[in-house]
Amino acid sequence: MLIYLLADILFIDINAANEIKNMIGNDKMKNTKAIKNISNVLTIFLLIVVSLLLVRNICYVKIVVSGESMSPNLHNADYGYAIKTNYAKTHINRFSIVIFENETSKEDIIKRVIGLPGETISFKGEGNDLYVNGQLIDQYFIDEEMIKDTLLYGSYSTDEEIIIPENSYFVLGDNRTNSIDSMHGLGFIKQKQIIGVLSFIFPNKGYGFKYF
């Protein structure tokens, strides 16, 4: 009778030990699987970060706004990224904001494209209204107070037709009376001078960003 009792106790202990062993084994498997999943997620995250950095360095150029010639849309010390013209030739449109090199000073300048290659533009109605190939164009990005000063101190007069050469652009600052641009000293900007087209900007003051 005692022998049977001992055998039952031993059998129970062996089963219990096996159950504990299985539980420990399952926990190890779960932990190993969890670690593997975390490792996979981290690997994917690192690949995404590396890919984004490569795209940024290859396709984009960092810019920092200097001065207030593009206010009220861009302000001094705002910073952002412009897509290089190697990847953005088809994206230079009217009212695109471009970064180009001044052929004289070799400094980078930020202005807005007003006229495209081969177009004829003029400013009518006391210089308030922009006409491109005879059609009135809405300058939605600045208010009327700034638009009316477009010709102030400029190289062109009201109603004068400006014919833009091929492979060149006519650019202006949004702050028309405080900008060195095609109207004020720079003349036409050649295609080869353009470094990139602004994609997005982070304000120096405040939060968020603007996408262009």
| Residue positions annotated with a catalytic role | 69, 111
* Spatial separation of the C-alpha atoms in residues 196 and 210, rounded to whole Å: 17
38 token code pair: 């975390």
DSSP code at position 15: H
Q: Which residue has tokens 């593997």?
A: 36
Other C-beta atoms lying within 10 Å of the C-beta of residue 88: 19
Distance CA 115, CA 130 (A): 10
Instruction: Please calculate the CA angle 85-130-125 and round it to the nearest 5 degrees.
Output: 160
DSSP 178: G
Beta-bridge partners for 201: 80, 210
- Tell me how crowded residue 127 is: count the other CB atoms within 10 A of its CB: 21
Question: How many H helices and E strands in the chain?
Answer: 2, 12
Listed residue (111, 134, 140) closest to 122, CA to CA: 134
